Structure 1
Amino acid sequence: MSELAITVIGHDRPGIVADVAEALAKLGANLTDSTMTRLRGHFAMTLICNGPAAPEVEAALEPLAAGGQLLATVREVRPETGAASAGEPHLMSVHGADRLGIVAAVTRVLAEAGANITDLTTRLAGPLYVLIAEVDLPPGSAEAVSARLDEVAARLDVDVTLRPAETDLL
């Protein structure tokens, strides 16, 4: 049994998830973790599954990529080891006018604090730019990180909110 990371991207259409999931199920591959989204008319999915070796999975997904409609990549990865994060889960949101460097600036603050971003989504809705992230902060660092984010928010003229996550909802 191999642990595989699979990415699929292409022009959005109904049935992509079903097609990929069925191809994997027919091989006996168990989909364990995934994220899937629509990005400006394109569909993107990243998933981890346990199953046969990468060449078998690549061959099973190849018909879905025929004609260049989808691009699928398969890579063997090492199983996750070690304990769960010792960080404190937080939710960060950023709202403001779209401008260059928002993601770079706020994620740099998190990186410098030793925070781990576990999920991040951005959307441009007209002139409004929205970023939502799940972040594991080092214990006891929330106040200092929040202060640094406030400085960056003022410089970029955006609103940034950092709050503890309700762990039973994650």
Structure 2
Amino acid sequence: MDHLVLTVIAEDQPGLVERVAKCVAEHGGNWLESRMSRMAGQFAGILRVAVPAQAHSGLIDALQQLEQQGIRVLVAHSGTEPERRWQMIQLQLVGNDRAGIVRDITQLLARHGVNLESLDTDVMPAPMTNELLFRADARLAVPSELSLDQLQQHLETLADDLMVELVLQPVD
């Protein structure tokens, strides 16, 4: 079986996932994992499928035909996972919204070799003041050679500069 990673984007409408799933199933494929979401009238997702080697090109052709229905699919071969040892950490951040928060946080993480496994962000009005608050929830893979205390210090210094609150918690 070949493992493929598919990225899907389309204007949101009922039946999008079903059409992609149908293509995968019709080519003997197996839907393994996915992350999908609707935002601002668009639907986007990333998924990993296993497909028999002989059905690989047929599946890609069928997925490309979905473009006629307004569904764009980008196909990539599944990569190999690095053989590094990681500690999984959950980061939660809240602060007044301003441009550059994601850039500054991800810059610091990249500088220390921390891999961003997942990131969910929102901007919403604060309960009492109605000022916009930026909220981020991230799952981080921290290299075993980086102490969590060091990472916490670096992030807290940046959080003070950005005027945001952040919490780091190990993931079991």
Contact 1:36–1:45, Cα closer than 8 Å, also in 2: yes
Alignment match, 1:96 = 95
Q: Give the drift of 1:124.
A: 2.3
Q: Choose 45-54 or 111-120, whichever is displaced more.
A: 45-54
Partners in 1 of 2:93 and 2:25 — Cα distance?
A: 38
Alignment match, 1:30 = 30
Contact 1:113–1:141, Cα closer than 8 Å, also in 2: no
Cα distance change on mapping 1:76 and 1:114 into 2, 3 Å? closer
| Cα shift readout 1:68-114 (whole Å, capped 9, x = no counterpart) | x2211122334x3565x521111001112221111111112222222
Report 1:59-138 matches (<5 A).
Answer: 59-67=61-69, 69-78=70-79, 80=80, 83=83, 85-126=84-125, 127-138=132-143
Cα distance change on mapping 1:76 and 1:95 into 2, 3 Å? same
TM-score by length of 2: 0.84
Alignment match, 2:147 = 141
Cα distance change on mapping 1:96 and 1:82 into 2, 3 Å? closer
Q: Which runs of 5+ in 1 are unaligned?
A: none
Q: Give the drift of 1:17.
A: 1.4
Q: Give the drift of 1:134.
A: 0.7
Q: Choose 123-132 or 17-26, whichever is displaced more.
A: 123-132
Contact 1:6–1:48, Cα closer than 8 Å, also in 2: yes
3-state DSSP class of the match of 1:99?
coil
AA paired with 1:157?
A: M
AA paired with 1:115?
A: V
Answering whether residue 153 of structure 2 is matched by residue 151 of structure 1, we say no
- CA RMSD after TM alignment: 2.0
Cα distance change on mapping 1:62 and 1:112 into 2, 3 Å? closer
Q: Give the drift of 1:44.
A: 0.6
Partners in 2 of 1:89 and 1:82 — Cα distance?
A: 15
TM-score by length of 1: 0.84
Q: Give the drift of 1:54.
A: 4.6
Aligned residues: 163
Q: Give the drift of 1:136.
A: 1.7
